Structure 1
């Protein structure tokens, strides 16, 4: 795997490097690189016009570095919960449409409703069909159906794509619902989150053999108890054979430092859901920790994960974009 820049980018991805000359990457290779299913790449091509700019002879399409960069932006945007159609428009570099009054287009014509609904008026937007089934099962508190649908999504699309394209949009829709409904539907969000955790445990290897110097430590910063996204990252790494030490929510500073010194990890991922919990001094302190014999001291690569770190640059830390970006960086660092 190619070397990484300080911001977590693959050096070979710049200026066309890292793409085979004269041919480019196949759709399967692009999908593996992004951490999504090949069907997802084909759907984005067919539905949103995110296919290769150039064409080669034969039936197989080839993707250049520029094509892949566009898809990487699509992944990053959808990971934030942006509807795929809007994310695709931004990934293509198009300007946002002119603002029009509610219910009208820029030209003044009435437009049909563009958002899909499931169950008790849960607004999902332009999402995968699977989201609607997951939302209905969650709203009905139907455990058996929800488990089946979540397992099907992970099996069909892979964990990274299932999280990005099915689970996150549904969780965000539920969150919007309870925020605008006087704290109703909180039980739906908790129910859905619990079953996602259960599916992760069922689809993740029990243990991954340790490789000295290759362990990844994952923890929420002190005061942060939102662990689900970190659980997904831990599961995705375990599926790729990366040894992980997961410490979950609100790990005290002293405990975090002790864990890093005892495990000597290749990387440490610090999750912050809120700007109020993200701590730049903490991330810098962890990045400065050293261990090993004199003359061969080592430090971990620190990743600042989660929306809480937005706008808070930490010197020496890597800020990956989305789940796929975090998996790529940590897999590469652990392999060194």
Structure 2
């Protein structure tokens, strides 16, 4: 049945601002929210690179068609990957293929000496971080995953984690703190994809250490600690170095952790604590004193305290590395005996 004019008016009144038919297009504000950029950025791209709507209606209000939206989504994807805006605009409009990030000939984007020498440098970590954060704000999961995967494949876990992943998480966290709860979903999406890429970088779990070698490295969060993403980065870095590990993840009960240490005879145990409220020092001392093996030849693990929760008074005979790189160096040394 046909729709009456009154029904049509009610339908129009129920729409969100900026919505409409495909022919009418969306407003600049609605498109900016969808892409995760500001309306000022869209106007700047129009002025500088001709990235405006193909059809302009009368008056001051712009309407963006589905074709316009697709073009700008491609522009955002390319700039997030590090392609200079001018090159990204040409590619998004189908004028040329995008240049590989960092190899553009624009006068304001010089090629680094390291790249000219044939190395594989990270380039500008700030640009990589911005691109990742922008893709996360747009909730562009494919772009986030692609950027993270490429980052780890090209530069390894340590560089990817310290120079891009952590700064991007901090940037999203600051945005969340200043905007109430508006960006919680952004942080969750970014964290999940980082975890996913770290798991892929770790690869399949091998058979473990040889019978004559040192035991594996045990990684666990202390009871009550659910924040285990840095521990996942450490696990990925250890596997990248070919070291045997046993990852137990968040909130491991003391009895279960003690039993695992006695069964495995690990060369080291890493205990992660994100906050002081979860840093269980008696548990750390208990694990450090846990022994295994026959009488007269008993072994005990080295204990590494990871995370900001352990700040303050040091624990005797326990290591407290300052970051991922230092933790990997210490654990590699222990594993090598």
Give the TM-score normalised by structure 2: 0.61
Deviation at 1:127, TM superposition (A): 4.9
Q: Is the 8 A contact 2:217 2:267 kept in 1?
A: yes
Separation of aligned partners in 1, 2:201 and 2:249:
19
Is 2:244 the counterpart of 1:243?
yes
Max Rg structure: 2
Q: More relative contact order in 1 or in 2 (CA 8 Å, sep 6+)?
A: 1
CA distance in 2, matches of 1:137, 1:255: 40
Question: Mind listing any 5+ residue stretches in structure 2 that lack a counterpart?
Answer: 1-116, 118-123
Q: Hey, what does 2:161 align to over in structure 1?
A: 163
Q: Distance in 1 between matches of 2:206 and 2:241?
A: 9
RMSD of equivalent CA atoms: 1.5
1:283 aligns with 2:284: yes
Structure 1: unaligned runs, 5 residues or longer: 1-58, 60-125
Tell me if the contact between 1:208 and 1:241 (Cα under 8 Å) persists in the aligned partners: no
1:136 aligns to what?
A: 134
1:220-254 deviations in Å (ceiling 9; x for gaps): 00010001000010011011111111000000111
The equivalent residue for 2:193 is: 195
Query: Matched residues in 1 for 2:154 and 2:147: separation?
Result: 10
Query: Paired residues, what number?
Result: 212
Other-structure match for 2:226: 225
Matching residue of 1:273: 274
Q: Counterpart in 2 of 1:321?
A: 322
Q: For residue 105 of structure 1, what is the aligned residue in structure 2?
A: none
Please say if residues 202 and 235 of structure 2, whose CA atoms lie closer than 8 Å, have aligned partners that are also in contact: no
- What is the aligned partner in structure 1 of residue 235 from structure 2? 234
SS in structure 2 at match of 1:312: coil
User: Counterpart of 2:331?
Assistant: 330
Q: Is the 8 A contact 2:304 2:318 kept in 1?
A: yes
Deviations 1:229-283 (A, max 9, x none): 0001001101111111100000011111111111110000000000110011111
Q: Distance in 2 between matches of 1:324 and 1:191?
A: 25
Alignment match, 1:207:
205
SS of the equivalent of 1:210 reads coil
Select between 198-207 and 282-291 the one with higher mean Cα deviation. 198-207
Q: How does 1:34-45 map to 2 (within 5 A)?
A: none
Classify the secondary structure of the residue corresponding to 2:219.
strand
Any runs of at least 4 consecutive aligned residues in structure 1 with deviations exceeding 3 A, and if so which? none
SS in 1 for 2:132: helix
Indicate the SS of the match to 1:270.
strand
Residues of 2 paired with 1:238 and 1:214: CA distance?
14
The normalised TM-score by structure 1 is 0.61
Q: Secondary structure at the match of 2:249?
A: coil
Distance 2:314 2:175 in 1: 32
CA positional deviation for 1:310: 1.1
| 2:294 match: secondary structure | coil
